[in-house]
Chains A and B, each alone.
Chain A
């Protein structure tokens, strides 16, 4: 039998199978029943159905092929071949589909495995980083407390537990201040001058556990700039504060003790120069003038030490009163003109007309002006000029006072440091004495008035010291 004949045969058999299947399907449905009844074939089919029990697919195919071929043997043979081909094809396709499905399943599985590996890697990395961060936070000496926007603690390290004296388990999810009461009362929270740090004084009835903490805080923001919390670093500054207090007390005490003999010498000198015991020989008066000059210098030094200790202890209070800055500057210049004349230095006043009065402590502003003008005279060469200027700022909210000289100037590296306590520029050429307190006091006094002070200078081209005083 040629392949074409087989193909025709298969097509015919398939058609027969489909026909048989359709007939059977119709027999089970009412619609088929109705059609059969209408066509008058009901009895015949019923007879056939009743006379033949349920046939196998193989038998049905054989019957159909028999009707096509007319021979039982040939139909059986064709049926077998057909079934073999069908089974073979079905088997092949099933196998092919299984392989395909298997491959796809494996690919999906592989992909999922890779994804899972990536997730695990990320998780492990995050875990390692978290552990690393926790280890760092855990081991830092400073206390670290992280709070959410509600102020509830979400993390704190052992140092913070130790400093606050509260176990972490009692604080997580609670406000930082919740348990700090009675024996550990937060009595004071003051913002430092730069506004970034706060000092927390924890008062306890027992002096041994009384402490001062300094908290430096920063807001935590997410990538959208929304505040999600705040991290605070706590340091125990109890010892530092105690040392500061002892230092201030020591300076005050030493200054007082230094001043006592000084005033005795000074008053003795005044008695001698007062003609209380008659006129003095000219030569003696000359020597007594030297004694007086150096006494005044020593007295100023002690005053500086005392002022500094008061400023550090926050005990220096201003006696504000509305005054004319022009008048203060004029008086300061007048006081120092005699000294300037000895070096042939001319002091030029350039004061803006109609300056408003300022609500300041006149004694302290005189002290600032005298200090800056004295420095200008001290560091200026002979036959030079010192300028004292004052004008209203561009914003008209403050008065700006400038003292300029044409002296040796200050190197850039020193300009910002010269207002530090005890900062001295080593200068063997000038040999000008001092302990480095004058400008530190100037800065503190200007700051106390709410103003700013800074210096502008260039080596060998002179210096300009500027300070501002707010009008309100």
Chain B
């Protein structure tokens, strides 16, 4: 049986991120939740993370800076940005520039957030398999 994809969710909104974690688990993913970027290096290494769902606005830190840090530590990790600011061309462009696999607005219905997430993960995993 294929290993479950391990997702690290980083968001400073516990109510939202915990619900998404429940829904992702219901859809067959393994999830770990963090509310900030502290000790992120340890989590990435120890937990063998495949994908990170990362909030753009982490309160104290900028999600884009955290994304760069993740890519430096473990370049093969898939990073998907999520934000309450909705679709913003500038933010989307910036996410693409720093190597994010996708960008999701929290303003979408939850069902669409999940389907977009699945689609980005699927594309990224397919790409990884092709390159390996």
Residues of chain A touching chain B, judged by Cβ–Cβ distance below 8 Å, are 252, 256, 259-261, 263-264, 266-271, 274-276, 296, 299, 302-303, 306, 310, 315-317, 319, 363
Check B89–A317 contact: CB distance below 8 A. Answer: yes
Are A260 and B107 in touch, CB under 8 angstroms?
A: no
A276 to B27, CA, bound (A): 10
Do the beta carbons of A276 and B23 come within 8 Å of each other? Answer: yes
| Contact yes or no, A270 B15, CB < 8 A | no
A264, B13: Cβ atoms under 8 Å?
yes
Q: Tell me the B1-34 residues at the A interface (CB within 8 Å).
A: 13, 15-16, 19-20, 22-23, 25-26
Where chain A touches its partner, the secondary structure class is helix
Assuming the A-B contacts A267-B16, A274-B23, are A259 and B106 also in contact, with contact meaning beta carbons closer than 8 angstroms in the complex?
Answer: yes
Contact (A306, B86) CB under 8 Å given A259-B106, A274-B23: yes
Q: From residue B115, how far is it (CB to closest CB) to chain A in Å?
A: 12
Shortest beta-carbon distance, B27 to chain A, in Å?
A: 9
Q: Which residues of B approach A to under 8 Å, CB–CB? A: 13, 15-16, 19-20, 22-23, 25-26, 57, 84-90, 106-107, 109-111
Residues of B within 8 A of A303 (CB): 86, 107
- The residues of A that contact B16 with a CB separation of less than 8 Å are 260, 263-264, 267
- Within the complex, the shortest CB–CB distance from B104 to chain A, in Å, comes to 11
Q: A259-B106, A299-B107, A302-B107 are in contact. Are A271 and B19 (CB under 8 A)?
A: yes
Whether A276 pairs with B85 at a CB distance below 8 angstroms is: no
Nearest residue, chain A, Cβ from B16: A264
Report chain A residues within 8 Å CB of B26.
271, 274-276
Residues on the B chain within 8 Å of A310, using CB: 88
Assess A296 versus B109: contact at CB under 8 Å? Given A259-B84, A264-B19, A276-B23: yes
Residues of A within 8 A of B90 (CB): 315, 317
Q: Shortest beta-carbon distance, A259 to chain B, in Å?
A: 5
B residues within 8 A CB of A266? 109-110
How many angstroms between the C-alpha atoms of A299 and B15 in the bound complex?
17
What B residues does A256 contact at CB under 8 A? 57, 84-85
**Which residues on B sit within 8 Å (CB–CB) of A306?**
85-86, 107
Interface CB pairs A-B, < 8 A, 12: A259-B106, A261-B15, A263-B107, A267-B16, A267-B20, A267-B23, A275-B26, A276-B26, A302-B107, A303-B86, A306-B85, A315-B88
Task: Tell me if B89 and A319 are in contact (CB < 8 A).
Answer: yes
**A-side contacts of B19, CB under 8 Å:** 264, 267-268, 270-271
Extra A-B contacts (14), CB below 8 Å, given A306-B85, A315-B88: A252-B85, A256-B85, A260-B13, A260-B84, A263-B16, A267-B19, A267-B20, A271-B22, A274-B26, A275-B26, A276-B23, A299-B107, A315-B89, A315-B90
Which residues on the A side are within 8 Å of B22 (C-beta)?
271, 276
A310 to B85 Cα, complex, angstroms: 11
Find B15's partner among A264, A275, A296 (CB 8 Å cutoff).
Answer: A264
